[in-house]
Amino acid sequence: MTQESLTEKLATHLLRPVDEATRQRARLHLLDWLGCVAGARESEVAALQKNYQEANNASNCAWLGNVLEMDDIHRSSILHPGPVIWPALVVGLDYRMEDVLNAAVRGYETTIAIGSTFDQHHYAFFHNTSTAGNFGAAAAVADLFGGEPEVLTSAMGLAGSVTGGLWQMRHESGMTKQWHTANVLTTGGSAGFYASHGATGPRFILEGPQGLYAATCKNPKPMTFPDQWRIHDVSFKPWGACRHAHPAIDAALELKAKLGHLDGEIQVETYADAITFCDRPDPETVLDAKFSLQHAVALVATRGVPQLVDFESEAISAMASDRSRVSVAENRDITARYPDHYGARVTCAGETVELVDTLGDPERPLSRDGVIAKARALIAWGGLAECEADRAIELALDGDDVRAIHAMLEDWLS
């Protein structure tokens, strides 16, 4: 009997039925992604795409979904499924909404299932959204074309054979993170399409002797196959900063509500990866500010609930002295709970607030109304009228016309 590969086991796992409650959850993530795309309409990345006459609408959307750092996130796999799954499904393909939602759920599942097996060595060098996202986009597209288990396996094998995405971008300014999500559309989506039309890929792309684990991991984690679809475990991000900064923001907000102020020195303790990614006392760019614990906590101290404008150039200059009041350090107990829990402890004036989980996580979920309010705010930030928010909410949460979503995105990005 031939040994079954991990991707073959995953393909079988993917083809179980998707229930209506899970499709409704997927609709919320679709709306969240649409808001992220709309909110980035006036960004430098959007301007680049407008100047590129050969760019299509799917590519434009793939470039924009991550710009504002408000895309959904799965904690233990440390990746963002939304911006790599939705562009492959709702832009340019004419399918029933139910089929698109089912494919999205399976794309999320694939991305998370594979991303959750990567170890710390992989994450130290590779952008998990890019690495695992290629598999997810491939599986989602193959599923939309009616993929059987062997087709899904080949789609993942093809995508995995060229997957990657190095973190060097963290050390330099640029648009590499957006390029990664756009590349997933091109590579993963293409793998799903060609596998659906007969192209075959390696079955043991993950665990084979020259597979992804051998090349990028020291101790890959076991793949699991839970009964519940993992899209239910994905968090919504309420604020426009790196998710690693959110626990500190959340704790600072609670401490400020308790004290009535955050005056004087502020100490932030959090997990090691949050320090690695977000210890930036002197941000210079908007992206730097979104990845700065010091800036995030300083803006809570001086302005309150974070708004997108608080990460722009004027705020970066205005809060320099307030950032100097914020010190950051690793807390080993908080690190020990990570990545299953993203926590932080904030201390000021002798008072402390510690949070194990942050707003938007499954333990502290953002409500349906909260997701809608976030989408409205993002669509307004992108310079669109309120009626466009109404349009997006209707199409995403209640609509059955995928072509209408495609047309709306073309209107937004033309």
Alpha carbon distance 135, 85 (integer Å)? 10
Sheet holding 344-348, edge to edge: 326-330, 266-270, 344-348, 351-355
Q: Is the distance from CB of 136 to CB of 94 less than 8 angstroms?
A: no
Task: Please determine, for residue 53, whether its predicted confidence score (pLDDT) is greater than 60.
Answer: no
| pLDDT for the residue 205 | 98
Q: Which of 305, 320, 355 is the last residue of a domain?
A: 355
| pLDDT for the residue 213 | 98
Q: Whole domain around residue 330: which residue ranges?
A: 243-355
For residue 72, the domain's CATH number is 1.10.4100.10
Does 334 map to a domain? Answer: yes
CA nearest to 389, candidates 236, 27, 381: 381
Q: Which of 335, 355, 375 is the last residue of a domain?
A: 355
| pLDDT for the residue 48 | 87
Handedness of CA 323, 329, 330, 333 (dihedral sign): negative
Read out DSSP for 368-387? HHHHHHHHHHHHHHTT--HH
How confident is the model over 302-356, as pLDDT tens digits?
999 999 999 999 999 999 999 999 999 999 999 999 999 999 999 999 999 999 9
Does 360 map to a domain? Answer: no
- Read off the pLDDT of each residue in 53-60 and give the average, rounded to a whole number: 76
Alpha carbon distance 52, 68 (integer Å)? 21
Task: Please determine, for residue 2, whether its predicted confidence score (pLDDT) is greater than 80.
Answer: no
Q: How many domains does the chain have?
A: 2
Q: Is residue 255 located within the same domain as residue 233?
A: no
Q: Is residue 68 located within the same domain as residue 156?
A: yes
Average pLDDT over all residues of the chain: 95
Task: Please determine, for residue 274, whether its predicted confidence score (pLDDT) is greater than 70.
Answer: yes
Does 31 map to a domain? Answer: yes
Query: Band of the pLDDT at 57, cuts 50, 70, 90?
Result: confident
| pLDDT for the residue 56 | 81
Q: Is residue 263 located within the same domain as residue 406?
A: no
Alpha carbon distance 404, 377 (integer Å)? 22
Q: Which of 51-55, 81-85, 205-209, 283-287 has the lowest mean pLDDT?
A: 51-55
| pLDDT for the residue 49 | 80
Q: Is residue 173 located within the same domain as residue 220?
A: yes
Q: How far is CA 240 from CA 43, 129, 150, 256, in A?
A: 14, 18, 40, 20
Three-class secondary structure of residue 84 per DSSP: helix
Does 309 map to a domain? Answer: yes
How confident is the model over 187-245, as pLDDT tens digits?
999 999 999 999 999 999 999 999 999 999 999 999 999 999 999 999 999 999 999 99
Q: Is residue 277 located within the same domain as residue 184?
A: no
Residue in this structure with the two tokens 């994450």, named with its chain if needed: 123
Residue 262 neighbours by CB under 8 Å, 6+ apart: 252, 255, 256, 297, 300, 301, 348, 349
Q: Is residue 305 located within the same domain as residue 405?
A: no
Q: Which of 20-34, 50-64, 212-226 has the lowest mean pLDDT?
A: 50-64
Task: Please determine, for residue 1, whether its predicted confidence score (pLDDT) is greater than 50.
Answer: no
What Rg value do the Cα atoms of the chain yield, rounded?
Answer: 21
Q: Is residue 161 located within the same domain as residue 101?
A: yes
For residue 259, the domain's CATH number is 3.30.1330.120
| pLDDT for the residue 170 | 86
Give the largest CA-CA distance in the chain: 68
Alpha carbon distance 85, 104 (integer Å)? 6
- Read off the pLDDT of each residue in 118-126 and give the average, rounded to a whole number: 97
For 242, counting Cβ atoms within 10 Å of its Cβ (0-12 exposed, 13-18 middle, 19+ buried), the class is: buried
Alpha carbon distance 407, 390 (integer Å)? 15
Q: Is residue 264 located within the same domain as residue 398?
A: no
Does 1 map to a domain? Answer: no
Q: Which of 355, 377, 392 is the last residue of a domain?
A: 355
How confident is the model over 392-407, as pLDDT tens digits?
999 999 999 999 999 9
What element of type H or E holds 241? none
Q: Is residue 185 located within the same domain as residue 209?
A: yes
Does 318 map to a domain? Answer: yes
Three-class secondary structure of residue 266 per DSSP: strand
Q: Is residue 192 located within the same domain as residue 319?
A: no
